[in-house]
């Protein structure tokens, strides 16, 4: 039943109720109810002029014009009529009251209408018409959200930092606008485009921009929306989604996180999930089943292309992969300008300066940076967001929120100062290490102190010398504790440093081939084979002797870096003490103050952020020097 029919039924019910109420409220003269015995006595006294006798009531008029009404007793009164006639009462018999035709019709149809209304209500609830939006009758229906061409306001102007990816999808827009242009020459547009990139790089935003530029409908759904507890539901939803898409062709279907349903078949111990595999099979069939001239383009996004089924990536389905990378320095500047449109920005804010100091930030990270800066300005009751707020927001994102309410003893605070000073001095003096940006002993997050390093430029790889320098700086804090407190006084604050240094050293030997003794061989196999449909319990291609040699080589790298870091701190003991004193006095020191300390001078008092050294105090880095994946290259900040 469509909406028009339901509205007509509703208005008919309302009209019938109003008619019944109106007929029952018809105007009658004012009457007075009297007992039956009083009525008889007044008849005998000659005070009754007229009596209208009905089935159960008697109404009439007194001689003085007054109206009365009485109810006849259930017992039969045989003397009533003689008494009325003897006292000259005008007797009128009333016909039994009958309901009108419309009233009778309404009362006879009302039960049917009520049953019908209740049935419609429950059917709507089962079909997802209630507030919950879902019901047992909608299991097989697609959950894709349809955005009309007039609802999508996103264009390529709103997407920044991924210029190469925009160029790759530009022809999709041209095809959707003018399919005949390609078909005249026999060209076929890719049926599926897979967007691959780290989280927060703007894959979903780019897909919306394609639909906004092409002015076509946009179906959006997540990979997890296909799978339910009942077998066959996911496949049914895939069929329904493509049926809807064909009705709105040309259009775009966007499947976010497709790895939730497109993982390799046969994965897991004892076979894969039947429901997920059926859903994937149906998706493969649908993508190969419609003709290219139907104008349906499937765009999927994932940050795990390695787990996708090979059949999903073959030509004819997802024939094209578009990599959406982290933005470079120019891309970050453009992304910042896009997000700054919604925020009142002060004249001293320089997006290029912020972009220079945020290597490794994704589009989502930069959006969060702008939002945090706006929140800082709002807390300070400012009307404009200045560079000062952006500096505070950057420090909060990179180092964590300050915990100034945390109570630390002077002894523990001094130990933290020496620890962080050890990191900073070693990091400053070893080759190919990122410059020290800021050192703080203010607790942030779970860390008691933070030493931050700012990459001077975007990095996509690391040399052996640079990795060894990172290991040296990681051990700088522990060595500083050992020099000031003795070996028995070393604390557990270096646990994270030791873990990261060990991972770096082992990766140098087993993954990156940076050990002369072990050679350029991959000794470490990727984990998680069972989730990719590989053989369970694959044999390690490594002998026990080789494993022992790897352990010895890792230990040699650690010992060598530890010795270098210790020698650096022993040669610069005066600077270690000077920096620890500065941290105890100021709690946080920046690059310009570190320059003073390394020059053997007492650091100058903290200055405004605009007076910091060029390139050092501008901004901080998140993961700019870390390759993608799980390679354990140290980040720009050490937390303890």
Tokens of 122: 């429950």
| Residue 41 Cα to chain centre, angstroms | 87
Please tell me the distance from the alpha carbon of residue 576 to that of residue 602, in angstroms, as a whole number.
12
Cα(193)–Cα(191) distance, integer angstroms: 7
- In which residue are the tokens 């879902």 written? 134
What six digits make up the tokens of 27?
């105007």
What one-character-per-residue DSSP string does 454-519 give? --SS--S---HHHHHHHHHHHHHHHHHHHHHH-GGG--GGGHHHHHHHHHHHHHHHHTS---TTT-
Closest C-alpha among 299, 291, 287 to residue 258: 299
Q: For 105-151, give the DSSP string.
A: HHHHHHHHHHHHHHHHHHHHHHTT-STT---GGGTTS--PEEE-TTT
CA 60 – CA 163 distance, rounded (Å): 96
Token code pair at residue 439: 């050192």
Could you tell me if 49 and 61 are in contact, meaning their C-beta atoms sit under 8 angstroms apart?
A: yes
Long-range contacts of 108-114 (CB under 8 A, 24+ apart): 109/16, 110/13, 110/16, 113/9, 113/12, 113/13
Question: Residue 1, CB half-sphere, CA atoms under 13 Å: how many?
Answer: 16
H or E element: which one contains 598?
A: helix 591-598
Tell how far CA 626 is from the center of its chain: 25
Phi, psi torsion values for 345, nearest 5 degrees: -105, 135
**Contact call for residues 36 and 71 (beta carbons, < 8 A):** yes
Q: What angle do CA 530, 540, 555 make, to 5 degrees?
A: 115
Tell me if residue 213 is catalytic.
Answer: no
Q: Are 621 and 398 contacting, i.e. CB atoms less than 8 angstroms apart?
A: yes
- Of the residues 257, 286, 391, 420, only one is catalytic, namely 420
Q: Specify whether the CB–CB gap between 52 and 61 falls below 8 A.
A: no
Among 249, 183, 187, 165, smallest CA distance to 214 is for 249
Active site residue ranges: 420
């Amino acid at each position: 039943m469509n909406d028009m029919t339901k509205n007509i039924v509703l208005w008919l019910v309302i009209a019938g109720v109003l008619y019944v109420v109106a007929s029952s409220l018809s105007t009658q003269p004012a009457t007075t109810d009297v007992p039956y015995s009083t009525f008889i006595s007044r008849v005998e006294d000659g005070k009754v002029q007229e009596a209208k006798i009905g089935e159960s009531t008697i109404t009439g008029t007194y001689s003085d014009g007054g109206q009365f009404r009485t109810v006849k007793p259930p017992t039969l009164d045989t003397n009533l009529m003689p008494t009325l006639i003897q006292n000259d009462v005008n007797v009128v018999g009333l016909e039994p009251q009958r309901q009108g035709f419309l009233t009778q019709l309404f009362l006879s149809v009302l039960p049917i209408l009520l049953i019908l209304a209740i049935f419609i209500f429950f059917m709507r609830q089962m079909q997802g018409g209630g507030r919950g939006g879902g019901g047992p009758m909608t299991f097989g229906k697609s959950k894709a959200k349809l955005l009309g061409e007039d609802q999508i306001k996103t264009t390529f102007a709103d997407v920044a930092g991924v210029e190469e990816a925009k160029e790759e999808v530009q022809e999709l827009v041209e095809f959707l606008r003018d399919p005949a242009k390609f078909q005249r020459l026999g060209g076929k547009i890719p049926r599926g485009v897979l967007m691959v990139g780290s989280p927060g790089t703007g894959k979903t935003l780019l897909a919306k921009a394609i639909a906004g530029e092409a002015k076509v409908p946009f179906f959006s759904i997540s990979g997890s929306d296909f799978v339910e507890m009942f077998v066959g539901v996911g496949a049914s939803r895939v069929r329904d989604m493509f049926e809807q898409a064909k009705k709105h062709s040309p259009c775009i279907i966007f499947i976010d996180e497709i790895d939730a349903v497109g993982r390799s078949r046969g994965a897991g111990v004892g076979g894969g999930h039947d429901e997920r595999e059926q859903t994937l099979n149906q998706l493969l069939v649908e993508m190969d089943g419609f003709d290219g001239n139907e104008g349906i383009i499937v765009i999927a996004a994932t940050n795990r292309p390695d787990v996708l089924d090979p059949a999903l990536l073959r030509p004819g389905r997802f024939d094209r992969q578009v990599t959406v990378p982290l933005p470079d320095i120019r891309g970050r500047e453009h992304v910042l300008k896009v997000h700054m449109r919604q925020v009142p920005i002060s004249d001293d804010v320089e997006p290029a300066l912020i972009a220079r100091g945020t290597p490794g930030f994704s589009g989502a990270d930069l959006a969060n940076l702008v939002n945090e800066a706006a929140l800082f300005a709002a807390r300070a009751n400012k009307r404009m967001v200045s560079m000062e707020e952006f500096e505070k927001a950057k420090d909060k994102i990179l180092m964590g929120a300050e915990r100034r309410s945390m109570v630390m003893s002077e002894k523990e605070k001094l130990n933290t100062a020496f620890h962080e000073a050890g990191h900073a001095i070693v990091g400053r003096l070893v080759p190919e290490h990122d410059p020290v940006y800021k050192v703080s002993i203010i607790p942030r997050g779970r860390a008691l102190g933070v030493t931050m390093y700012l990459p001077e430029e975007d990095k996509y790889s690391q040399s052996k010398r640079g990795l060894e320098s990172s290991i040296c700086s990681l051990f700088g804090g522990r060595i500083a504790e050992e020099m000031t407190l003795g070996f028995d006084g070393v604390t557990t604050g270096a646990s994270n440093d030791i873990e990261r240094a060990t991972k770096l050293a082992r990766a140098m030997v087993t993954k990156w081939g940076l050990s002369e003794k072990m050679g350029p061989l991959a000794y470490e196999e990727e984990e998680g084979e069972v989730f990719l449909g590989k053989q369970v319990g694959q044999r390690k291609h490594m002998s026990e002797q080789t494993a022992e040699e790897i352990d010895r080589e890792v230990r040699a790298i650690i010992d060598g870096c530890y010795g270098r870091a210790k020698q650096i701190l022993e040669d610069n003991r005066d600077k270690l003490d000077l920096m620890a004193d500065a941290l105890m006095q100021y709690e946080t020191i920046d690059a310009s103050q570190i320059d003073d300390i390394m020059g053997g001078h007492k650091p100058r008092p903290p200055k405004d952020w605009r007076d910091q050294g060029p390139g050092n105090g501008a901004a901080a880095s998140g993961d700019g020097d870390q390759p993608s994946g799980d390679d354990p290259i140290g980040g720009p900040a050490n937390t303890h």
